[in-house]
Structure 1
């Protein structure tokens, strides 16, 4: 029986032993380890020396990949539309910036819960469990919105949206992140999120400003779209059960132990726990990077409309359109730059994108012109786009294969909490200082994640991440080498 690719691990690399009883009861066939590439198998990472799984081989992966892509589009629509609807929610309930910002903060608990439970869900329910729980949790968070309940109910309801997005985000990033040409595939996948973030605000703004409809009518649209994804995802991953996932974990340990010996920490058949994975500094660096990145992305996407209305004094439809242009830039950047990032190396590419983003954020903040603001924020989205996919790929290259399920799942879900934490902070501070605080907060976040990125092993060179483990590089080595080089240059030369 072939191994299961868990969402988090994304690669399950080998196949289970032929005498495994759980695996034997599954419908998969027993095949030799080197030939194990089928519907449920996640092939091994480059560290393990085996061929990576492809998005179109086996054929069922095509159905799975496009189902996931559709799900990411819906995630983007949900997140993007919330920002465009924020001024209208605020006025509908007659509440302050701080109070309305709770709609961003409450999903953080859902994301955090997803980060902690992701490994267990895979172990007990498999990928099919995620395929069911993700859409259902999102629907639980969306259906009550059409009844526009009293505002205190909204943050509670949106906890379910955060949990549903969190388990899907972590699982599917891990699965695709271990595929052949992961940068490009993740670029398209997250481009789907950006596409959703583009059309969500456009539809929501048009319904409110041009159609004269209440803000909550947008969620009638989302109920229909989210209901459809449930009927796509569950059949797509029907055979990716817990038994298949556990067989993949066992095979992963066996493969790693037969290699360089650094992969698994337990005996064959014993899964790597989340607690073990969280001892790795790389996991926390990637998680903090994604926390900051998602926070900057959703803070911009969520507060752009309000900023353009209150600070730039744009007319309402144009203010909503600015949010659409930001998400459009994000979408194009993820797809286009995904093909560039892998060629020049993730470490140097993302450092360059972040430096450009810092410059554009400064221009967006300091140039008080509506047309210029729209231009700067569009290009800002373009260069921010590939950051999330590149971080996932970096994690797969720096961490042992047996860590991938828990590590990528935790980092992606923990990072998703940035979509709640930082937009809430913007709203809370804006209550006393004005919504213009959006700009310095986003600038500070961008500088912070640039520092975090440079602390990862690998150096600013092509192939650095791939060689970091073999060279036993540790977190912060780049800074130590730079400091030593600078110290050497500054020392007076002896005559």
Structure 2
């Protein structure tokens, strides 16, 4: 009788238990158990995503650092509305001149958005995030001195570049996460809403100071301190590491390509693949219009209330109401988004926004308009994180980070173009045109979302 020698199982070393792949041996079809070893196939490798308590803690700390970064971006957008009257008064500038702040910032954001493909490969995720916060610190330090208007406007280019680096990379990182992706994206952007909600409470007292002096610009010292602390936090927590390294360390579950090849893809090839997909452009233009409307409401609503509804300097707090609603909507409406479906609920929120915007346009009531603006904030809140979460589900994972970076970067571009157009129209037809701009842009958003979902359906057929 021949004895059968049983080989002892091989276990991975202890240091590799938190991240390894399980190989599954599969017999060729029609073969029996006597098949030769060279006839056996190895099934696709399956990632084991069991996380240790230490890994979960590290993942949460890093996510909190990203939230703080988005708080800074929201702080920047939320402070603009209350400060516009002070900027106009100090520099004796009209609506069109003040609107150039948005355009110059847009230029920096556009450069950041389109360079994200290259910089993520060459610099890396952690370094790029910290660099963005450093650039914002420099911009705020210059603006705090209330320099001549051309300098004040020009330095906003650096600010826009820094925001694009943080916004694009942060969105791409969270969009790649598979576990609780919708909730994490909603919480991340709730942090943005929190920053935009808090900023007007700090900016409004500064804006109420004598605009002939420079004390109103001291607000930017607060912003500079916040940006500097963000840079330090990102450097300490992320340690300038690349995204794939961070995800490996925490064994985070991510979206993977079902038929992906292991061969690396060059940045230029990724960019070509991304820009060749019409779906990416529909999502990018949707986000561009969305963020443009968001910043237009948060930025110009203060001037609208003061000029057309008899508001005073305290009207700056209405901007807080809008961004507070934005923050609340991103958390409170998560169950409704799940129940109705993220793709359908966008149309519901857009329809209700149109109805409330018509009320702001036609009903001359300071309190009524303030309430309507806050409710619009609640309805607008979930839209951005829904789009980013859907991008993570429907776009190929191999280009996801770059695609989401491009989409979110286009959002920052829209945050400049739509407010600039509103300001340019206001210089000719007065600020009462703001609700009309919001009406047109919200309708365009709904149309772009319909096109995006139709394009995705065609891709899946």
Shorter-chain TM-score range: 0.7 to 0.9
| Deviation (angstroms), 1:274 | 1.1
1:32 pairs with 2:20: yes
Change (3 A) 1:452 1:52: farther
| Deviation (angstroms), 1:134 | 1.1
Residue 302 of structure 2: which of 285, 288, 305 is its match?
A: 305
Distance in 1 (CA, whole Å) between partners of 2:148 and 2:184 is 41
Change (3 A) 1:239 1:86: closer
Change (3 A) 1:54 1:391: farther
| Deviation (angstroms), 1:282 | 0.8
Residue 375 of structure 1: which of 371, 375, 382 is its match?
A: 371
| Deviation (angstroms), 1:206 | 2.0
Aligned to 1:219: 220
| Deviation (angstroms), 1:355 | 0.9
1:353 pairs with 2:318: no
Aligned to 1:83: 81
RMSD value, Cα:
3.0
Distance in 2 (CA, whole Å) between partners of 1:211 and 1:190 is 34
- Normalising by structure 2, what TM-score? 0.84
| Deviation (angstroms), 1:339 | 3.5
- Unpaired segments ≥5 residues, structure 1: 1-26, 36-47, 460-464, 474-495
Distance in 2 (CA, whole Å) between partners of 1:268 and 1:409 is 22
1:64 pairs with 2:62: yes
Aligned to 2:9: none
Aligned to 1:490: none
> Contact 2:69–2:230 at 8 Å: present in 1 too?
yes
Distance in 2 (CA, whole Å) between partners of 1:239 and 1:428 is 41
Task: Determine helix, strand or coil for the equivalent of 1:417.
Answer: helix
Distance in 1 (CA, whole Å) between partners of 2:48 and 2:80 is 41
| Deviation (angstroms), 1:109 | 1.0
> Contact 2:18–2:50 at 8 Å: present in 1 too?
no
Aligned to 2:414: 418
1:457 pairs with 2:448: no
| Deviation (angstroms), 1:64 | 1.0
Distance in 1 (CA, whole Å) between partners of 2:48 and 2:397 is 14
Distance in 1 (CA, whole Å) between partners of 2:440 and 2:136 is 31
> Contact 1:107–1:158 at 8 Å: present in 2 too?
yes
Distance in 1 (CA, whole Å) between partners of 2:105 and 2:334 is 28
| Deviation (angstroms), 1:313 | 1.0
Distance in 2 (CA, whole Å) between partners of 1:50 and 1:111 is 36
Distance in 2 (CA, whole Å) between partners of 1:423 and 1:255 is 38
| Deviation (angstroms), 1:187 | 1.4
| Farther-moved stretch of structure 1 (83-92 vs 57-66) | 57-66
Aligned to 1:161: 159
Residue 268 of structure 1: which of 247, 257, 263 is its match?
A: 263
Aligned to 2:311: 314
Task: Determine helix, strand or coil for the equivalent of 1:147.
Answer: coil
- Normalising by structure 1, what TM-score? 0.78
Aligned to 2:197: 198
- Unpaired segments ≥5 residues, structure 2: 1-14, 24-44
Distance in 2 (CA, whole Å) between partners of 1:273 and 1:245 is 21
Aligned to 1:135: 133
Q: How does 1:244-283 map to 2 (within 5 A)?
A: 244=245, 256=257, 259=258, 261=259, 263=260, 268-271=263-266, 272-283=269-280
| Deviation (angstroms), 1:66 | 0.8
